[in-house]
Amino acid sequence: MTKNTYIQIKVAKDFGVYPGARYRTDGPFSGQEFYEDILKPKFQKAWTDSQKIVFIDLDGTFGYASSFISEIFIRLVKDFEDKKAIIKKLEFKSEDEPLLKKSIIQIINEA
Amino acid sequence: MDFITNRIKYLYILLLLILGLVCGLFISDIPYLTFKRELSLGEIANFTLTLFIAIYIPFFLNKKINNKRIEKDILIQACDKINNELSELQKLIEPFYVSQKAITKDLSTIILLRTRRISNMLDRLINNTTQYKNNKAVKDITDTLVKNQTSYWSDLTLNVKDRRSKITQEVYLRTENNFKEYEGNISKLIMHINGA
């Protein structure tokens, strides 16, 4: 059996502790910025390598606006289409708010 | 403290036993009362059953009932706390809806932290209802509550981080509807926990 390798993203460290709104035009630290500059390039690598999984650590921020989260994961579904495969390629750490993981999965499924 | 309580309990039992013996001796001297020297199996069974009930009800059954009541009360208190927190959050945004003032960075952060707090209170509540996992009604309501939480968070925080964002009538009404639905399902959960 082969072991999965993780591509890690820690939002608070790699991006910022005050995640912002939906679009870059709404201000800094937007969902669009996070998706285009951080998540998409890393997810692309994981998408083409069956052993790689993107691990997103959501802890350590001052909370997430739904616009930020929905922009990221709706764009992910738009670009990579296969919802089930996307969910399989993602893992989350959210000890600050455990139910956020369920909300993200719901957003992906409803996108 | 437990040691003293136990001592008092045993002392009480001993006292009752002595009282019973004294009563027995006293009654045996009364000439109008006579005692049969033989006992039937039915009488022994009757006596054993009475003794069992007399010990089981106060010492075990009452304790079991009390413990279950305490567990239920703790869960109901947790439900009430979520309802209070939801009400407080609604009260916080109401002045911004009425005045149509722009949401400040501090207020948007407070809204995010408070929705997160409600989410975590709900998560803890769901984790504490695992003893009702076979109760379909409780399971259905907790699943709905997770959806209520996502909708509430989704509608309330949709624009809070936008530039010069306001609590518009649309956002306020959607949030108010989510709040009512959320609160209603919390009340349903209280009723099911109470009746379980």
* Structural contact between residues A34 and A72, judged by C-beta atoms closer than 8 angstroms: yes
- Cβ-based contacts of A62 with chain B (< 8 Å): 109, 112-113
pLDDT band at B1 (very low <50, low <70, confident <90, very high): low
B119 lies in some domain: yes
Q: What is the pLDDT of residue B9?
A: 81
Residue B61: which residues within 8 A CB-CB, separation 6 or more? none
B48 lies in some domain: no
Residue B190 token pair: 């209280």
CATH number assigned to the domain comprising residue B167: 1.20.120.340
CA distances from residue A33 to A47, A52, A86, B104 in whole angstroms, order as listed: 20, 23, 20, 22
Nearest residue to B185 (alpha-carbon basis) of B82, B115, B103: B82
pLDDT in tens, B124-153: 999 998 888 788 888 999 999 999 999 999
Which amino acid would we find at residue B74?
I
Same domain, B72 and B125: yes
Indicate the residue of B116, B150, B160 with minimum beta-carbon distance to A96.
Answer: B116
Cβ–Cβ below 8 Å for B154 and A103: yes
Number of folded domains that form chain B: 2
Quote the distance between the C-alpha of residue B12 and its chain's center: 33
Indicate the residue of A21, A99, A106 with minimum beta-carbon distance to B162.
Answer: A21
Nearest chain B Cα distance for residue A80, angstroms? 23
Cβ–Cβ below 8 Å for A103 and B161: no
Ordered alpha helix ranges (H), chain B: 2-28, 41-56, 62-99, 105-128, 136-156, 169-195
Cβ–Cβ below 8 Å for B120 and A102: no
Q: What is the pLDDT of residue A97?
A: 96
Q: What is the pLDDT of residue A64?
A: 96
First-last CA distance in chain A? 33
d(CA A72, CA A84): 16
* Structural contact between residues A67 and A31, judged by C-beta atoms closer than 8 angstroms: yes
B168 lies in some domain: yes
Same domain, B92 and B187: yes
d(CA A64, CA A57): 13
B88 lies in some domain: yes
Domain that holds residue B3: 1-36
B53 lies in some domain: no
Residue A53: which residues within 8 A CB-CB, separation 6 or more? A4, A5, A6, A7, A46, A89, A90, A91
User: What 3-state class would DSSP assign to B56?
Assistant: helix
Nearest chain A Cα distance for residue B165, angstroms? 10
B122 lies in some domain: yes
Provide the ipTM.
0.87
B191 lies in some domain: yes
Domain regions of chain A by residue span = 5-110
Mean pLDDT of A87-103: 95
